[in-house]
Every structure is written in C-alpha cells, then in structure tokens.
Amino acid sequence: SQTIHQWPATLVQPVGSPLSLECTVEGTSNPNLYWYRQAAGRGLQLLFYSVGIGQISSEVPQNLSASRPQDRQFILSSKKLLLSDSGFYLCAWSARATNEKLFFGSGTQLSVL
Amino acid sequence: GESVGLHLPTLSVQEGDNSIINCAYSNSASDYFIWYKQESGKGPQFIIDIRSNMDKRQGQRVTVLLNKTVKHLSLQIAATQPGDSAVYFCAENIIPSNAGKSTFGDGTTLTVKP
C-alpha cells in the first residue's frame, strides 16, 4: 500500500533562518507531488506541484521554493524565513494516471518567531 | 476567479442524527469533486468523490449529491458519531488537465454532541 511521510511534525524557527521540509512517498511510482499551506481555520492553498523529477510549478509568488531530487521525494525550502511563512504545511501525492484525489501527509506546523 | 465555498462554517449535531454539509462552486468547467475530512492537527483524508456525469454517489454512511444546475455539492453523513467531528472540505478540479490541482473551500467544522 502507498504511504506518505512528512517531517518534522512541528518546527519553531527564528525569522531569517533557513527552512527545509521533506516529504517522501512509498508504494507508488511517478506520483504527482504537492505542497499546500493551511492558515489557521482556513482551507488549503496550493504552493507547488510537480509532475516529475526536477519539474516544479509554483502557484503563488512567495519566499519559498521546492525541489524534487528523486521520483518520490519532495522538499520545501526557504533561505530566509519570514513571520508570514508560519502555518501548517502539507505534502500530498496523487496518481499520475488519474490526477484525481489527493493523499496527504500528516503535516508540519511551522512557527516563525 | 473561480472559488469553492461552503455555506456554513460550523455545524453542530446530536449523535445519531444525520448531518448535511453544503458546498457551492463557481467554476462550471469543474468535472470532479472531492470531500475530505480533517481531524485536528492532521492532514485531510479522502472521504468520497463524484464526477460531473453523476448526481449521487454513496459510500459507507456518506452520500455526496451534486447539482450542476446550481453548482452545489453536499455531503450527507448518516447516524453521525463522535468520531465524525472534524473539519470537512469540499474541493473541485478539472480532470485530467489540472494535474490534480484541486481548489479547496474554507471548510465546515462539524461538532457531534453526545
């Protein structure tokens, strides 16, 4: 069966520090991969999606970047965090063949202080 | 622009009652709709989906209804249980062209009272 791992679960970082969140998927090949951000009490905002290794599309201009060094690995990064980067970050995958429902990781609660 | 929105941000029901969560969408080109359940501190989980060529789809204790004429989607939960307490999101997409980039509503918080 397919599983998605996302870490860390919580992170407290000072303003101006770098960020690296990692997500890996097991049990499937060639998935579409996504990074979403969720503000408290709100819906999900798509940040990045990837349809293959090295292929990244950004949905909103921001202080973050994403990379996909391997087929089932997706990384969210920042060189210098801002206060506004605080939020709940979710990685997700969908099957390439169908592009339908998303399977989410357990999320990372990021607090930038 | 297109948006997916929910009629009510919160819903409180008695255990054992049926729950109905509503959702409006504005993109008439959307052809695939999904309901997700998100428990506190966790990622959303898929509940049920429906394609635009269907009006109704049933799962275990859940039913999704789609009214394309008024661009309305609903999730019905039968015999609501305390474990159903969560935030419920509807999402819409265009398959396969949107590469799974669903647009999410803000969510409805369902509280089940014992």
Can you give the CATH number for the domain in which A52 is found?
2.60.40.10
| CA-based nearest residue to A94, from A55, A50, A64 | A50
Measured between CA atoms, the residue of chain A closest to residue B3 is: A43
Residue A22 in any domain: the answer is: yes
Per-residue pLDDT reduced to its tens digit, A43-99: 899 999 999 999 999 887 778 999 999 999 999 999 999 999 999 999 999 987 776
Residue A91 in any domain: the answer is: yes
Residue A71 in any domain: the answer is: yes
Residue A39 in any domain: the answer is: yes
Residue A45 in any domain: the answer is: yes
Number of domains, chain A: 1
- What integer pLDDT is reported at residue A100 of this predicted model? 79
Mean pLDDT of A12-38: 95
Which of A2, A30, A44 is the best residue to mutate to test the B interface, defined by the most B CB atoms within 10 Å of its own CB? A44
Q: Is the CB of A51 less than 8 angstroms away from the CB of B99? A: yes
Q: Residue B5: pLDDT band by 50, 70, 90 thresholds?
A: low
Pairing of strands A103-104, A10-13: unpaired
Per-residue pLDDT reduced to its tens digit, B53-70: 999 999 999 999 999 999
Q: What is the DSSP letter of A27?
A: S
CB pairs under 8 A between A and B: 62
Q: Residue B98: pLDDT band by 50, 70, 90 thresholds?
A: low
Please check whether residue A100 is in contact with residue B100, taking contact to mean a CB–CB distance below 8 angstroms: yes
- What integer pLDDT is reported at residue B2 of this predicted model? 39
Q: Residue A2: pLDDT band by 50, 70, 90 thresholds?
A: confident
Cis bond before residue A8 (omega within 30° of 0): yes
Q: Judge whether A11 is closer than 8 Å to chain B, CB to CB.
A: no
Token pair 């801002």 in the structure block, residue: A82
Q: Which residues does chain A have within 8 Å of residue B93's beta carbon, measured at their own beta carbons?
A: 99-100
Measured between CA atoms, the residue of chain B closest to residue A33 is: B100
Concatenate the DSSP letters of all residues of chain B into one string.
---EE-S-SEEEEETTS-EEEEEEE--TT--EEEEEEE-TTS--EEEEEEETT-SEEE-SSEEEEEETTTTEEEEEESS--GGG-EEEEEEEE-TTTTTT-PEE---EEEEEE-
Does position B85 have pLDDT exceeding 70, yes or no?
Answer: yes
State the average pLDDT for chain B.
Answer: 89
Residue A113 in any domain: the answer is: no
Residue A12 in any domain: the answer is: yes
Q: Judge whether A58 is closer than 8 Å to chain B, CB to CB.
A: no
Measured between CA atoms, the residue of chain B closest to residue A94 is: B100
Q: Is the CB of A94 less than 8 angstroms away from the CB of B96? A: no
Domains plus CATH for chain B? 4-113 (2.60.40.10)
Percentage of residues in chain A with pLDDT exceeding 70?
Answer: 99
CA distance A38 to A44: 5
Q: Which residues does chain B have within 8 Å of residue A42's beta carbon, measured at their own beta carbons?
A: 106-107
Cα→Cα distances A27→A5, A35, B22, B84, B110, Å = 12, 19, 34, 28, 33
- What integer pLDDT is reported at residue B14 of this predicted model? 96
Q: Is the CB of B42 less than 8 angstroms away from the CB of A59? A: no
Q: Judge whether A49 is closer than 8 Å to chain B, CB to CB.
A: yes
**Residue range of the domain that includes A23:** 3-108
Q: Judge whether A105 is closer than 8 Å to chain B, CB to CB.
A: yes
